[in-house]
Structure 1
């Protein structure tokens, strides 16, 4: 199953921080940013989450919900969210259901060893639930701004 720009994103339900269960279809009527990061409380992921946190009011202004996703357990996600003061929910995707839906599990190399891990990626879904934009192999610096601009442009056009 491959996600295609302009096509509906299949519905998913996953456990999230704050004793929440996130179901994509419940967010219809809002734009949704789903960003995938390799591991909670690591430097790049902390920076990326902080960049989204610091722009939350701007995302809210254009009717956009931000969701972070990694394979960390719910307790690790809760700790990460609390420690960094994230003002959006983090999804715990231990069984990789959401990761596989968005095809972000890739073969990676660390210290010469290959392993399967999350490729830092972000997806923008419109208020009707269609995939509008995707960023793969994301570099953290400036990324949240680029996603915000895309969300603003999408909102202005709707």
Structure 2
């Protein structure tokens, strides 16, 4: 499968929505119309920090996405790229889609003079970890989440 990746466009909403529903299902999180519309509004708003790109197959069908945002790193006085979400349809896994999405992120980071790419994943997401391990190193930092 040949894959191309480009920034998401307004006309991508419905194919993206299908992928977003699959992403939420993968992580066993409910997807609602309100949630999906809010996330899409962030991605499509050029003034919002969240951006997104989609991977397309030979027929132009969306087969994966990555959502990203720039983040400041105070210890280095540099900026990095944080990948909030990466998702590939089951039929696109192990077919180069994840690599293509990560390559897009790397090019974006270089073009925007960003120092690192960071992401988190669940400990049981072994397939994704194979890709991330091939591209980078696990950090010694622990991630915490505090409900407010």
**Structure 1 and Structure 2 fold alike (TM over 0.5):** no
TM-score calculated relative to the size of structure 2: 0.29
Higher helix residue share: 2
Higher strand residue share: 1
Higher relative contact order (CA 8 A, sep 6+): 1
TM-score calculated relative to the size of structure 1: 0.28
